[in-house]
Amino acid sequence: MTFPNPSAALDRMLIMGNGGAGKSWLACRIGEQLHHPVVHLDDMHWEPGRYGIDRDRALRDEMVKAAAEGNAWVMEGVYGQLANMVLNRTTILVWIDLPEEECIANIKLRGIQGGETGTQFDGLLKWVAEYRSRTNNWNSFETHARLFSVFSRPKFLLSSRESVTDFADRLSTSIDEAADERARFPNDGGKDAWMVVPVMTEQQWNAYHDIRRAVLFEARGLIGYDASHADDRRDGHFPLLLLLENTPVGAARLDLTGEETACVRTVAIRAERQGKGYGRMLMAGLEKFASQHGVKRLLVNAARDAVGFYEALGWAVIEAGHENPVLTKELRTRPQW
């Protein structure tokens, strides 16, 4: 099983299949690995807290389309009509096609959920059993097979529980290997090869926190650095590392805020590397990463002694009266998706 480049093809993954096939489990695991938001189509199809009661169709469709416009996500569901609606935004498609008896066994194992009644639960089991026999129905083997057939980007058909688990395990390995591979690409072929990469592996997370703790806390006489702060793993937040010859020397975080805008946070270069141009490298890589995620405008709350650094890179002060002045920079291009 060979995966495409995680930095591109895995941006927006759609997982479809019968009820009880393991779509939610796989979506949550992959979302955690990629730091992508997970979208459960069930949550949009049904009225909140009212299993079996359809949401208004126009509102449902609007919600699904809005979710699909996100730059990165893992979306899962059985609903072929909704899958078809987001197929043109999907960069990788996964179809879990387990035997109906396995799906039924999985549903029985998890039991009644989401406000189901016993009667509704029995109806669900019957509905799952009819997956292959339903015709002219969006939520069927027939429809999923058609969507899978016409999808021209990377796609995977998983036909056993073992293959689903293997897919998740191999994807995790692929992400780690891709992070290492990106670190080996030089900026210009010179002796000081560098690359800005998103934090993915445990080793990179440790380096990310070590740099920020040393530069932003210990060097300033501060204590209480929180390596488990939720903001670092929040949806749309991207911790980044500057690697010099595969050695982490700088860290920053890019927070997507919507409307093609992002905030730059916690920029730090190791003390022994400061004043040597590595801050410029970090910002150049960060800006490229931001452009790849559709960002047109950057904001930063800068320390007063760092304002000159940002201005030299083309940033402009827009709010000077704060303790930490606010600067902005317009990015020239937006990539085509």
CATH number belonging to domain 12-178: 3.40.50.300
Q: Where does the chain hold its CATH 3.40.50.300 domain(s)?
A: 12-178
Closest CA to 273 of 300, 301, 305, 251: 251
Q: What is the pLDDT of residue 175?
A: 64
Q: List CB contacts of 331: < 8 A, sequence separation 6 or more.
A: 287, 290, 291, 295, 296, 297, 298
Q: Decide if 225 contacts 213 (C-beta within 8 A).
A: yes
Residue linked to tokens 């009225």: 47
State pLDDT tens for residues 112-136.
876 678 888 999 999 999 999 999 9
Give the confidence band of 171 by pLDDT, cuts at 50, 70, 90: confident
Quickly state the pLDDT bin for 4 (edges 50, 70, 90): low
Q: Letter for the amino acid at 68? A: A
- Is the pLDDT assigned to residue 22 strictly greater than 90? yes
Q: Where in the chain is the domain with CATH 3.40.630.30?
A: 184-330
At 145 the pLDDT is 95
3-class SS at 87?
helix
> Is the model's pLDDT at 18 over the cut of 80?
yes
Tell me the residue type at 72: A
Residue 3 has a pLDDT of: 55
Which distant-in-sequence residues (6+ apart) come within 8 Å of 265 by Cβ?
252, 253, 254, 255, 300
Examine the pLDDT at 316 and tell me if it is beyond 90: yes
User: What's the pLDDT score for residue 174?
Assistant: 66
Question: Which pLDDT tens digit goes with each residue over 176-226?
Answer: 555 544 444 345 444 457 888 899 888 999 999 999 999 999 999 999 999
Chain mean pLDDT for the chain: 87
Superfamily in which the 184-330 domain is placed by CATH: Gcn5-related N-acetyltransferase (GNAT) (3.40.630.30)
Beta bridge partners of 252: 240
End-to-end alpha carbon distance in the chain: 25
Supply the pLDDT for residue 241.
Answer: 94
232: left (phi > 0), else alpha (psi -120 to 50), else beta?
alpha
pTM (predicted TM-score): 0.55
